Amino acid sequence: MSDDRGLLRYKKALSELQDRIRGKAVREGFYVQWHLTDRCNLRCKHCYYSDAPIKDLPPEQLKGIFDKYLKSILKWKLKGTICLIGGEPILRDDFFELLDYIYTRWKEHPIFSAPFMSNGVRIDEEFISRLEPYSAIVPQIQVSLDGTCEETHGFIRGKGSFEKAKKGLRLLHENGFGTALHFVVSKTNYKDAFDVMKLGDELKVTRVTVSRLVPEGRGCTLEMITSPELKELWTYLSERCIDSYPKGVFLARGRCDLWHLADIPSTLYSLK
């Protein structure tokens, strides 16, 4: 885009943001990631968990924890998002028992949603048929892809997991669920990261999140990207999507580093 055109667009974006803040009538929500299990069917090279013994809480205790969360957002008069994570949360034998309980509480107090994160490997037709009754509280499922091809993703997450994860995303989209993609970037998959928005478009996800490797647990075996590499990546991805949003894939900023604050276009895009 030309400098003049770009400046006008950024001024308009800032004006819209200021108007939204001044006229905000609804308080922001309270977001929680709820770790349900350490169990996982993959052994990803970047995982920040170690191989410690699994000590999952029993379902009745989880239900009690959820009740405390609901009581809190009701008291604070906040909308809630409680994201179910692991490990691989759907590996719990009582995953749908817990989801059913959350859904029952939602019918009493419809002020929250309960999306979840998955590696996508076990998301098939049977799973989706069981998930469909809870679509009112599951607006989106985030699936992790750490490469844009089998070679890269398979090296990090295991052979054959790339196509299974993509199939899971496609099935979710075809059955009306919102989908998102999460990409953990390291030296191993840095080149692939530049094509992550393209992959998101291909899989028809609404949001792509790119976060850096956490060098803990098994993640200690991989190498983090440098600060200049991070800045180069964020600049490239910002330029790719700033003109396409809201029609195209949204590049989420909730878990990103702060390099994007160095340039006005990316900052305003993030705030919008």
pLDDT at 229: 93
DSSP structure string for 129-148: HHHGGGTTT--EEEEE---S
Buried b (16+ CB within 10 A) or exposed e, 160-170: ebbebbbebbb
In a domain, 139, yes or no: yes
Total domains in the chain come to: 1
Residue 3 CB neighbours (<10 A): 7
Largest CA distance in the chain: 60
Q: Mind listing the pLDDT tens digit for each residue in 168-194?
A: 999 999 999 999 999 999 999 999 999
Any idea which residue has 């790119």 for tokens?
210
pLDDT at 50: 74
Local structure of residue 220 (DSSP, 8 states): G
Torsion of Cα atoms, 239 then 240 then 246 then 250, to 10°:
-100
Q: pTM for this one?
A: 0.85
Are 147 and 153 in contact by the 8 Å Cβ rule? The answer is yes
Query: Is residue 34 scored above 90 in pLDDT?
Result: yes
Are 66 and 106 in contact by the 8 Å Cβ rule? The answer is no
Q: State the CATH number of the domain containing residue 211.
A: 3.20.20.70
User: The domain containing residue 212 runs over which residues?
Assistant: 6-19+27-271
In a domain, 185, yes or no: yes
In a domain, 133, yes or no: yes
In a domain, 1, yes or no: no
Alpha helix ranges (H) inside 23-77: 59-76
- How sure is the predictor about 13, in pLDDT bands with cuts at 50, 70 and 90? low
The residues, ordered by sequence, that sit 6+ positions from 187 with a Cβ below 8 Å of its Cβ are: 222, 223, 224, 225
In a domain, 54, yes or no: yes
Q: Mean pLDDT over all residues of the chain?
A: 87
d(CA 247, CA 49) in angstroms, rounded, equals 36
- How sure is the predictor about 143, in pLDDT bands with cuts at 50, 70 and 90? very high
